[in-house]
Chains A and B, each alone.
Chain A
């Protein structure tokens, strides 16, 4: 099963369940507030929640994305070491 079919299956089942509850196809009686107020806005709540989670996740990871100037400095030193060493061995480095 590919990731796409997994996602389609998941959304298919979730949507069916949701519609069944929303249109009262099942012999289940939900509390009146849930039936009339919660269910109609549930998909939008899920969408906004996912959006907020995504933005939060990306934002957090951008903030904690470490800069490594020490790696750059180390590399600069080693580049000149390498170039000097190789030049002395006859490699044509500008």
Chain B
């Protein structure tokens, strides 16, 4: 279905020893079943739990042309992980998704289909539209998520329904341009990518996705995240 294109998946990891093998298995399954040319770039930030060891074992099974290991010396942040990953990517399209299986790779085919049908620059997964949804969220978490998204939509008017999602497909050069112009870090970074994409008049499409809260390990959502979100949002409001 993908024609001559090659898709590079960037997987920044930190302590994902349990998740990495499964997400790689799901990714390869989806790509193979649909005859899509791919590579998976694992950017591990020196996880103490031995994520890199597992990644090496996976590389032996799937091949060095399919699983690329580009580890870094320590926790250096999401934005720089993508920059680091892109430098080594040989695909003309880049997938970004969380390594913790909250994003299911099966949605990649739909994202590719939409991208090709409309020649879009960015396709982003949305939990908030169509048949999208979440699993494992209580009422409080839903209210926070919806409130945060509403606030961000009012202040930034980005034109997409799910600003903070991070399951996306980019044209490689579009992602490179967006990252180089982004100023924020962490959680807010995903939001800024969409706002900047609008600013540069890149075309954006949305595909409904389901989001299953991480099965292994802790979910990162507390008071600090909310404060960080608010600060980042205001920075973007002033900057973009």
Query: A residues within 8 Å of B by Cβ?
Result: 2-4, 7, 54, 57-58, 61-62, 65-69, 71-72, 74-76, 78-79, 82-83, 85-86, 89-94
- A2 close to B240 (CB less than 8 A): yes
Across the interface, A75 reaches (CB within 8 A) one of B54, B139, B215, namely: B215
How extensive is the interface on chain B, given as a class? 35 or more
Nearest residue (CB) in B for A82 is: B25
- B210 close to A61 (CB less than 8 A): no
- A65 close to B133 (CB less than 8 A): yes
Q: Bound complex: CA of A89 vs CA of B139, how far in Å?
A: 41
- B135 close to A91 (CB less than 8 A): no
The majority secondary structure among interface residues of chain A is helix
Asked if B201 lies at the interface with its beta carbon under 8 angstroms from chain A, I say no
Q: Bound complex: CA of A94 vs CA of B21, how far in Å?
A: 11
- A65 close to B134 (CB less than 8 A): yes
- B215 close to A3 (CB less than 8 A): no
Q: Bound complex: CA of A2 vs CA of B157, how far in Å?
A: 11
Q: Bound complex: CA of A56 vs CA of B240, how far in Å?
A: 28
Nearest residue (CB) in A for B213 is: A72
24 contacts between A and B (CB under 8 A): A2-B238, A3-B156, A3-B236, A3-B237, A4-B237, A7-B237, A54-B150, A58-B143, A58-B147, A58-B150, A61-B150, A62-B139, A62-B142, A65-B142, A67-B134, A67-B137, A68-B133, A74-B104, A85-B25, A86-B25, A91-B54, A91-B61, A92-B53, A93-B18
